Amino acid sequence: MSIESPHKTTHFGYETVDVEEKAARVRGVFDSVASRYDIMNDLMSFGVHRLWKHIAIDLAAVRNGQQVLDLASGTGDLAARYAALVGPQGRVVMSDINAAMLEEGRKRMIDSGHVGNVEYMQIDAEKIPFDDNSFHCVSIAFGLRNVTDKDQALREMQRVLKPGGRALVLEFSHPGSKPLSKLYDLFSFKALPLIGKLVTNDADSYRYLAESIRMHPDQESLLQMMQDAGFERCDYHNLSGGIVAIHRGFKL
C-alpha cells in the first residue's frame, strides 16, 4: 500500500518540484537576469517583442483617466505606455512578484519621466491585494507561465476588474506549423541558453525559459482556462506564427 505524499507538486520547466519551492526557484531566475533583462529580450526576439507589446496595448484599449494593473511588469514596457494613455487623471499600478525586477523597472520608469500616475507594488498574481471591481484593465505579459497556480491568477484578475473591463495575457505559445515549431525548438534549446551564457553568464535560466514555454498551455487550453475563470467574449490573437499569443477576456 503506497502512502500519498503530503506535498503538492508543480512544474519548474521540465522538473517536478514542490509547490512551495517553485516561487523561490523562479525568483532566483529573475534575480540572476534582472540587470540584463532588456538586452536579452531584444536578442532572443530579434527586437520583435516591441511589436508584440504594441499590439497588446492596442487590444487593451486603455483610455484617459482609467485605472490599470500591470502584473509581472518586468522593466515596465507596458506600464510606460499605459501611463501615457491614462494621463494625469489615471492610475497605473506597475507590479512584479520579484523585487529585483520591480526595482529595475522602477528606476527605468523614473529615468523616463513617468511619475505621478504610476505606483510600484510587489504583488503575487495569485493574491492580488485590491478590492473587487478596481481596474478597467489588468494585463500580464510573459509572466503567466511562471505562476504556480495559473487558474487562481486568472480568477484574481477577473475579480479585480470593473464590469466592462478587460484582461490581457501576452505570452509565448505554440507555433501553428511543424516546420516553424522545429525551427523554434532548435533556437530555444540550442541558441537561447548560449546567448544567456554570453550576455548574463547564466545559461540555466534561459534553459528554464525554453522549458517553461513548452509546459505552458496552448492557445485553446488557455482560452478555456480564461472562460473557466469567469471571463466572457474571450479570444486570442496569434503573433509570429503562434510563437506568441495575446489572449483577451472581458468582465461583463
Q: Is residue 122 part of a domain?
A: yes
Q: Is residue 20 part of a domain?
A: no
Task: Report pLDDT digits (tens) over 170-217.
Answer: 999 999 999 999 999 999 898 888 888 888 888 888 888 889 989 999
What are the residues whose beta carbons fall under 8 Å from the beta carbon of 245, sequence distance 6 or more?
A: 170, 171, 173, 219, 222, 236, 237, 238, 239
Q: Is residue 41 part of a domain?
A: yes
* Number of separate domains in the chain: 1
Q: Is residue 61 part of a domain?
A: yes
CATH of the domain at 124: 3.40.50.150
Task: Report pLDDT digits (tens) over 50-89.
Answer: 999 999 999 999 999 999 999 999 989 999 999 999 999 9
Q: Is residue 102 part of a domain?
A: yes
Nearest CA to 227 among 158, 131, 137? 158
Structural domain that includes position 50: 32-175+209-250
Q: Is residue 197 part of a domain?
A: no
